[in-house]
Structure 1
């Protein structure tokens, strides 16, 4: 029998409730039985400091402590929200050789840290579901997908296009928009870049894609795929184009190939997208 893997959970941005941690651990035990991982939630996940799961120093220390811990095999971000960008550079500068051996999984605001880790050459970085997804209706499938990836690299957890694309990366549109031009920006040349969004007006998505597709780095991607864009607020006037038409428009202006849709988003169908080349 393979040794039990140990997954450390931290909240770089917004807090979660202690009850969710217990639900996730019980879910893992029920669904994976003798393959169930040990899931260790850092106490920082339950702290509250305004918008954040503890102040910047506390969140930074929790991430660094767990990432550098040789007894943990993976780091799983508890949820998105906001706050990762406030700690990312300082936290990444403190990581050691044990941190490099780990798998990192999350999405949304966690994409800031995923970007920085990937830039530093960390080999096992992936966009994918988080513990908070268990609070969604029918969210069990998303959490099972994430755990199956962390435990055994289950191919059914992965976004289908990853199987055919040489190199991939996935981000929330606003997160990539905020990372470009900073020290956290990874090299995306030759990648199929998958983008998704939630809760943003279409004009804001349009503006962000102007910035993203103007990047010389992004203009070297193999192409862009659009994931799901959900919970779009209703503006006082219609934008006049769909989210896909917006992406096509900016890809055409920038000379970037538009490669169709991707099976990612802020929802229970969100799939795992490993950064770089898929390791089979």
Structure 2
């Protein structure tokens, strides 16, 4: 199995390559050689163009190269950051038949591309850990979880509430709020929506969730689950509500069922959420 890694947002350090490959080798090294995953880091991952891992066209071309390559079985987004949304006009309409048959994995800013792939009807998508998560405390376990899903679609890696019941989707809340009103806003009717975020003030979380739940069609989602909202800065003045109290309030206002918490977030405990189109 060949897994291609691309960086649609920010660049990664080359020191990660052997570290990530060593985790995969240890995890699958007891399998016959033909059944071991081959991890291929696209050279674009290491480019630099200001804030980004190459220009918009370079990043889009790298993604399309691996997505449309019949020899690639899965595409793993290297990291989050910012920049993936800028690629959507370059990607839309350029996906060939091989791109629709692959597995894709990522989260955070990569959610922009996952949303486009959902609209394109790609069945094997998931919100989950990326290679740079290896630097977190417990990051090696996160990578093993991601690889187990990429290689085996291991159900034990999946967020518990997403294993049964209504189909689910997961997004970074800020990223999803920025997709609202664009051609790439996903249709989430009938799905449980899970959201998470990192390093956002409470008022911004409230604003983003209000934006998402107020969008036309969102009243048809099966409900909302709140993932972890890490490293929330102190709000001045005090926002008073916790993130869960805020989510309950926003759901009640929008007429959307609040279903509790989700085991996802910008951390090593981030579980997989399959979310194909």
Normalising by the residue count of structure 1, what TM-score does the alignment of the two structures yield? 0.95
Partner residue, 1:110: 110
Q: How does 1:102-251 map to 2 (within 5 A)?
A: 102-251=102-251
Give secondary structure in 2 for the equivalent of 1:87. Answer: helix
Q: Is the 8 A contact 1:6 1:37 kept in 2?
A: yes
Q: Distance in 1 between matches of 2:241 and 2:18?
A: 43
Q: How much has 1:236 moved relative to structure 2?
A: 2.8
Task: List 4+ stretches of structure 1 deviating above 3 A.
Answer: none
Q: How much has 1:165 moved relative to structure 2?
A: 2.3
- How far does the alpha carbon of each residue in 1:8-50 deviate from its partner, in whole angstroms, 9 at most, with x for none? 0000001100110221111100121125310000000011111
Q: Distance in 1 between matches of 2:217 and 2:14?
A: 41
Q: Distance in 2 between matches of 1:78 and 1:115?
A: 17
Q: Distance in 2 between matches of 1:145 and 1:246?
A: 31
Partner residue, 1:32: 28
Q: How much has 1:166 moved relative to structure 2?
A: 2.4
Q: Distance in 1 between matches of 2:188 and 2:242?
A: 26
Q: How much has 1:237 moved relative to structure 2?
A: 2.2
Partner residue, 1:97: 97
Partner residue, 1:272: 272
What is the total number of aligned residue pairs between the two structures? 273
User: Unaligned regions of 5+ residues in structure 1, if any?
Assistant: none
Q: Is the 8 A contact 2:45 2:78 kept in 1?
A: yes
Q: Distance in 1 between matches of 2:81 and 2:57?
A: 17
Q: Give the root-mean-square deviation of aligned CA atoms.
A: 1.1
- How far does the alpha carbon of each residue in 1:73-126 deviate from its partner, in whole angstroms, 9 at most, with x for none? 000000000000110232132110000010010000000000110011111111
Q: Distance in 1 between matches of 2:235 and 2:242?
A: 13
Partner residue, 1:12: 8
- How far does the alpha carbon of each residue in 1:122-167 deviate from its partner, in whole angstroms, 9 at most, with x for none? 1111101000100111101110000000000111110011112221
User: Unaligned regions of 5+ residues in structure 2, if any?
Assistant: none
